[in-house]
Structure 1
């Protein structure tokens, strides 16, 4: 099987994933070093994550859940004195796993972690230079390492050339998440595929852009952002996942907090 065919097969298989337990490590723009572990379910879209970020919240742990269109946040990073005795704050409407226009975590998560890794893992299908590197172990299992570069133009071309509804929707979703991550120019993607043909891990590296101004009469400016270098490892696929909303009596609505998101 050619590298392009192997990557396409893994992407097609990813479209059938119904649940995923995964780990995220790396450096994320504006957030510093990030380490997270999460479980998600695709229908309905549900996610629970525990995260540390050295550049936000003082490196304190944060737990975030998305359930039934609402977001719930808890952890040492939350300023408990603002929660009126509750352990969690909630916000809705909240969405995770979609694209730039539909996601909303109220700034609690890095935008790179607002998108589903199932979609992110398929981006290499839009590469024109995908190649096989070597066979390497990933989390104790043998996997084949592939590498290539991806651009927004490449994803658009792959979308226009896609045969079949599923393949086209994959590229549409990939393009949405490419822009949601504020990627500038070229994204380098490493993908590890197991002997079963399924994705085991991927790594995304690229330059980003940021915006400043746009308020108090100051014009909005697009400036260079910090580099992205994020690795996602698939730990369990299609295993039962349960993410529940915390008890209502232990939750306070974000709309009732005058100071907004109560995180340090």
Structure 2
């Protein structure tokens, strides 16, 4: 993908990720402050608990990431009964054609980097990478950290529970939804140690996020969370200083627990990247 290689934002996934039991709406028409006696820390913890029980989500990402600069993405992520993801991402700072589409189907990741990339793939528009193989997984990371698509953005939003102090900023309307805005600072080392207290599944999801930030050289995160009247996270923002530049991403959740259908691209339009790498190495 040459210099147009795209570092996928919070996703698969992260995304990550990406929130609650039976939540199928974003809480429109409900008051954000229906529990005025609840402390900021308790409100964030309640939203985090809801996030852990989601089965699917659609979300929008915008902001800046190290190296690439500004990024924009729209994604759908299914967590149960099996994981699947579809994400379209663009990097305006690299030009109007710096776009990519990524799909996760079973153990395979499919990447469509556009017409320019297809010229190097014998006219095929999709690259397939089987993530079940160790070598393939390493190649995936080299393709611009596409493995981030496996991260759950909902799990990343729960990192604010690791802040030493959470404060209420005020109330805002996000995509027509009344929300309460909270903010806090999270130390990566402290957060890493606190994972031992979490449930196995929650700790595993959060550990992926923590490792991502640690690899980027981020020591501390400033996090904002907007919680709707149903105690679900409607939006969250993550800011930090990485080794190769500033990180500032905002993730807005469009819906929860609604169907997310992802299909593999036609075989005739797909190049197996692992096989291509083998041929290059053999040559």
Residue 264 of structure 2: aligned partner: 245
Q: Relative to structure 1, is the Cα distance of residues 35 and 199 closer, same or farther in structure 2, using a 3 angstrom cutoff? A: same
In the comparison of the two structures, how many residue pairs are matched?
237
* Partner secondary structure for residue 227 of structure 1: strand
Decide which structure has greater helix share: 2
Match of 1:203 among 223, 237, 254: 237
Partners in 2 of 1:60 and 1:160 — Cα distance? 40
The reply to whether residue 82 of structure 1 matches residue 124 of structure 2 is no
Q: Find the partner of 1:65 among 96, 103, 106.
A: 103
Structure-to-structure mapping, 1:174-253, within 5 angstroms: 174-181=206-213, 182-208=216-242, 224-253=243-272
Structure 1 CA distance for aligned equivalents of residues 276 and 193 of structure 2:
46
Contact 1:131 1:146 in 2 (8 A): yes
What does residue range 20-169 of structure 1 map to in structure 2 within 5 Å? 20-43=57-80, 44-55=82-93, 59-76=97-114, 78-93=116-131, 104-109=140-145, 115-162=151-198, 165=199, 169=201
In structure 1, distance between residues paired with 2:178 and 2:275: 51
Residues 1:151 and 1:175: Cα distance change in structure 2 (over 3 Å)? farther
- After superposition, the Cα gap between the structure-2 partners of 1:133 and 1:8, relative to the gap in structure 1 and judged at 3 Å, is same
Contact 2:114 2:125 (8 Å CA) reproduced: no
The corresponding residue for 2:16 is none
Contact 2:181 2:224 in 1 (8 A): yes
SS at match of 1:49: strand
Contact 1:71 1:94 in 2 (8 A): no
Are the structure 2 counterparts of residues 114 and 31 from structure 1 closer, same or farther at C-alpha, using a change threshold of 3 Å?
A: farther
Unaligned runs of 5+ in 2: 1-37
Q: Distance in 2 between matches of 1:156 and 1:191?
A: 20
Structure with greater strand share of residues: 1
Tell me if the contact between 1:152 and 1:175 (Cα under 8 Å) persists in the aligned partners.
no
TM-score (norm 2): 0.75
In structure 1, list runs of 5 or more residues that go unmatched: 96-100, 209-223
CA 14–36 in structure 1, closer or farther in 2 if over 3 Å, else same: same
Q: TM-score, normalised by structure 1?
A: 0.80
Q: CA RMSD in A?
A: 2.7
Runs of 4+ in 1 over 3 A off after TM superposition: 54-59, 101-106, 108-114, 256-260
User: After superposition, what is the alpha-carbon deviation per residue over 1:223-259, rounded to whole angstroms, capped at 9, x for unaligned?
Assistant: x321100000000111001011011122111134359
